[in-house]
Every structure is written in C-alpha cells, then in structure tokens.
Amino acid sequence: MDLVKEIEKLKKEKNAVILAHFYVRPEIQDIADFVGDSLALSQQAAKTNAKIIVFAGVHFMAETAKILSPDKKVLLPDLNAGCSLADSAPAKEFKEFVDKYPNHTVISYVNTTAEIKALSDIICTSSNAKEIVESLPENEKIIFGPDKNLGNYVNSVTGRNMVIWQGQCHVHDEFSLDGILKLKSQHPYAKIIAHPECKKPILLVSDFIGSTAALLKYSYEDVANEYIVVTESGILHKMKQKSPNKTFYVAPLGNINCACSDCNFMKLNTLEKIYNCLLTEMPEINVDKNLSDKASISIKRMLEISENLGL
C-alpha cells in the first residue's frame, strides 16, 4: 500500500488537514499541509476551514488546536507523544507557585498542558516571548514558566526580572557546551545557531539565537555556508531543502560522536499512524469545556498581541 497516496485520498474524502511541527520525521513534513513552529501552528489551527485536524506533533499542540477550534475534530497519531517540558510543570505545583506571587502577570510557554494555560494570563512561544514580555509595562511583575532557560534568556534581552519556574526541555537542556566547542574547532567557519531553550553558556557562544522558525530563516538568508544547529534535529530537513548547497551539523548532547538530539516524543509520529488515525478518526483529543474556555483566554491574548505586532 502506498501510504502517501492513501493519506492524500483520506484527507480529501474527510476534509482533513495535516499540521506538522519542524521536529517530526522528514517524510511527514513532506506530506503535511503546513509545517511550522508552535506560534505558526497555533495560528493555522485557529483559522483552518478543515473539519478534521491531524496534528503531527505532541499532545499539548493537539490540545491547543482543540481549544482554538472546539468545533473541529482534532486527532493525534500517537497518544504517547508527550512533552518533557510540559511534564515539568504539574498543574497543582504550578498553582501553588503562582499563589506565592500575588499581583503577578503569568506568562506561560505554549509547551504546557491546558491546565497550565488556564492558570495563565498570556501564552507565548519562543518566536514571540520577548515581544510578549515587552508588550507589558516595564514595572509589571511577571511569572514566567515553565522553561527556565527561555525565561532567563528573555530576562537577559529585556532587562526584566521575571520570577521563573524551573522547568526544562530534555533535549535543549542536555546539549553539551564542550561537544559544541569541539565541533566548532573541527569546523571553524561554521556558525553556531541555537534555540533559546538551551542553557546560557551555549547561548553565549552562539552566533544567532532564535526560535525554530527563526533559525530556519537565518540559515537560508545568512551568507555562511556551514552551521552547527543547536536544537532538535528535525529542523535540519527543512534547512537542507532550503539551502541544499550548505552544510549543517547536529550539535551533540554530551559526546562529540553522538548526534542524537532527537525528541523521542516527536519521533513517535509515523506515516502509518497518520494513515490509521485518518482512517479510524482516532485517537481524538478532547478538552473539558470549562477548562477549554479558561485556557483559550490566555492563548487568544497571545494571538492578538502577535497580530498587533505583525508576528
């Protein structure tokens, strides 16, 4: 069976759209109707006219799509596709943390559960975190969660002093500075480009820091020919498509011989699972209406601020 042809057939029959994150397998990116980072995927989920959204990503992304499009059927190819960063902020503990800091505006990263979004005032992504924070008055007291590395980075570039929840992404937090510097010594003309979820020492040696979409854009607009890419390896597929004559190196997690910066959750998505979920219309993602209504406020505020800023 030709899975790609069968998927295309089912999509047309069922008026379905496939949204895919840059971190999923290359063959899925190639058949998706839209590939993007968290901000762009949220925007697409909010405006699509399809009846069914197949989200090739992880659970919080499908959940966000359902919150933004409650009348649409949202499918996730594998329910085990979670997120270590979202898991690092349990709702009960996060609420207790927020309660310790009254009169603070809560800005939460999109990599969170619906429960965390419902406890938040504004959601952000790595594409717009700086701009979201800067849209608030300079004297506004802010809680930022759950990614400590992104929060510290935003503090450093905005001059703010946000209170930060100490969560992290298992991939971005484990990149090896020593390994990156060794790789740089082997490829001295390669530019280091890093995601702001990485630790500060890595960001300090980077030539460019940005969201997944920003790293992609930089890689094809910049004049260099070689790049050490310090984010999940899935983005290299689009980078190579956009710049076939450039060379991209995967940053190591701990051992210079280990180019293993994969998100195991993202890689759970396969063509076969996408075909099966389109065929059976399962697993379906649903969110309790009261929770969805609360969570939608913070997400829509992000989308409104982003639209006003032209992001």
Tell me, what's the pLDDT at 38? 78
User: Is the model more confident about 310 or about 130?
Assistant: 130
**Residue 40 confidence (pLDDT) above 90:** no
Q: What is the 3-state secondary structure (H, E, C) of 117-147?
A: HHCCCEEECCCCHHHHHHCCCCCCCEEEECE
The 10 Å Cβ neighbour count of residue 222 is: 15
Mean pLDDT to the nearest integer, 236-249: 97
Could you tell me which residues come within 8 angstroms of residue 216 by beta carbon, excluding any fewer than 6 positions away?
Answer: 22, 235, 238, 239, 242
pLDDT at 1: 83
pLDDT tens-digit profile of 68-79?
999 999 999 999
pTM of the complete model:
0.92
Sheet with 34-36: list strands edge to edge: 34-36, 16-21, 52-56, 73-75, 284-285
Which residue is associated with the tokens 């300079």?
A: 138
> Which pLDDT score, from 0 to 100, does residue 17 have?
96
**What is the number of residues in the chain?**
311
139 pLDDT higher than 90 = yes
> How much is the pLDDT for 188?
97
* Residue-range domains of the chain with CATH: 3-82+266-287 (3.40.50.10800), 85-169+295-309 (3.40.50.10800), 172-250 (3.40.50.10800)
- When mean pLDDT is compared across 103-107, 158-162, 171-175, 285-289, the lowest value belongs to 171-175
CA gap 272, 274 in Å, rounded = 5
Q: What is the pLDDT of residue 296?
A: 96
Amino acid symbol at 99: D
**What is the percentage of the chain residues whose pLDDT exceeds 90?**
86
Q: How far apart are CA 4 and CA 114, in angstroms?
A: 32
Query: Does residue 257 carry a pLDDT above 60?
Result: no
Mean pLDDT of 218-223: 98
Q: What is the mean pLDDT of the chain?
A: 93
The residue that leads in pLDDT, 186 or 48, is: 186
Give Cβ neighbours of residue 98 (< 8 Å, ≥ 6 apart). 104, 106, 119, 143
Is residue 120 over pLDDT 90? yes
Q: What whole-number distance in Å separates Cα of residue 270 and Cα of residue 20?
A: 11
**pLDDT value, residue 311:** 80
The whole-number pLDDT of residue 256 equals 46
Is the pLDDT at 6 greater than 70, yes or no?
A: yes
